[in-house]
Structure 1
Amino acid sequence: MEQVAAIDFYINGLRKNQTSSISSDVSYGICAIQPASTVMKEREEMSIHTLRSLSDYWQDMTWEVAIDEIERFSQLIVLNPGPLAFYDDLIELLTEHLSIHEKQMALWWAHKMVIACCGRTHLYIDIGFEAREKMTILFNRYFPTLAKKNIDNKMRWKKFLYRQFCLAAQLPLCPTASCSECPSYQECYSGS
């Protein structure tokens, strides 16, 4: 998948429950942006205003944070779009376990989590956390009933997410996103 299409996919996924979709002009504009030090201030302000007007998700982000996140997650898609074959199924699984108190935030995290499954290492790293414990906190806060199924927090979160998907779909063979490329593959999959 090319960069502009990946940006569209990422931004529209975050906006899925809202009315309009992002125009390709915005995606091309984001794709063409240089580091903030080389970009005119008016262009920055116009682009972040456009993002903010498109979605509540971007309201509290600075331009730099928004562009960094869009770039990071769209690159995961560009480098490994294969796991997106299960995108709708994984989103459905996560939405079945949403926290009722923070539904919109949980939906945004569900999308980011499924996109992060395109990454080639641990889910917590690909989503942008420094430690696995933050994934545990995320699951407990936004997907509490699903988190309880990871008894004693023993299974790695990417493997756990795909295992739950396979159980729900009654699949005899379970896909593993990009787990086979991870340096910890043997640690996670030996004896499972």
Structure 2
Amino acid sequence: MTADEAYRWLIEGTAPGADPFDAHVLASILALAIAEGGTSGNVPAHAGLDRAALARLAQSLFPGCAARLAALATRDPPPPEVEQDAVRDLLAAHATGQGPLGRPLAAMIARRAMEADHLWQDLGLNDRDELSALLDRHFAPLARQNVDGMKWKRFFYRKLCEAEGFVLCTAPVCTACQDVEMCFGEESGEARLARVGRVGREGSAPHPRR
């Protein structure tokens, strides 16, 4: 199943009354995970959830897809990397309210943040604005600290470094830094969901990591 096929399938199986934006976000992340690991039962490893957590999410948000999704998720993910755990814990500590999506979203975002593209691309979203809306909705206390519009991955690592008493860079202010583009540059590019879907249709090799 290609990523775009998986996305349409998940959206069609969304629970009645589910929030459309949340359904779009979760379907985007899971569609990439299905495209990347579905044939080997490794959807959990690419989604950042173990099989039990993935099953709970599917039953609550995509009940029409739960049975088939379980068949694509036959293996639990390996232990997460230290960085992945740190990003997950950072997000979970700033979850907005007591909603049921905060914990699984923290884990999924942390796993996808280990990929090589902009975070919005790693999550299968259309652009940075969608990612900002997602973080503002579910992790508002953290998202609203990014007042200067730093790239989200860079911002997460900055917060983690600050929590450990480290300084991410040596420049006194961002405007004096020669690498300011690394933190604040334009986040353009093709939506990864579209790219993976196109590659699957063409039967080409996966896009290389950059």
> The TM-score by the shorter chain falls in which range?
0.5 to 0.7
**Unaligned segments of structure 2, at least 5 residues:** 1-36, 170-178, 186-210
Q: Is the 8 A contact 1:123 1:158 kept in 2?
A: yes
Structure 1 unaligned regions, length at least 5? 16-21, 23-50, 175-184
Distance 1:100 1:171, change over 3 A: same
Q: Which SS does the other structure have where 1:55 is aligned?
A: helix
**1:98 aligned residue (76, 95, 98):** 95
More contact order relative to length (CA 8 Å, sep ≥ 6): 2
How many residues end up aligned between the 2 structures? 133
Distance apart, 1:169 and its partner CA: 1.7
Secondary structure of 2:150 counterpart: coil
Q: Which residue of 2 aligns with 1:165?
A: 160
Aligned to 1:135: 131
**Corresponding letter in the other structure for 2:181:** E
The answer to whether the 8 A contact 1:14-1:57 is kept is: no
CA distance in 1, matches of 2:85, 2:68: 27
- Percentage of pairs with the same residue: 27
> Which stretches of structure 1, 4 residues or more, deviate above 4 A after TM superposition?
3-11, 63-67
Matching residue within 104, 111, 114 for 2:107: 111
1:131 Cα offset (Å): 0.7
More helix by share: 1
TM-score by length of 2: 0.50
* CA drift at 1:145: 0.5
Match of 1:187 in 2: 181
Using structure 1 for the length normalisation, give the TM-score: 0.54
Quote the RMSD (CA, aligned, Å). 4.0
* 1:55 CA drift (Å): 2.8
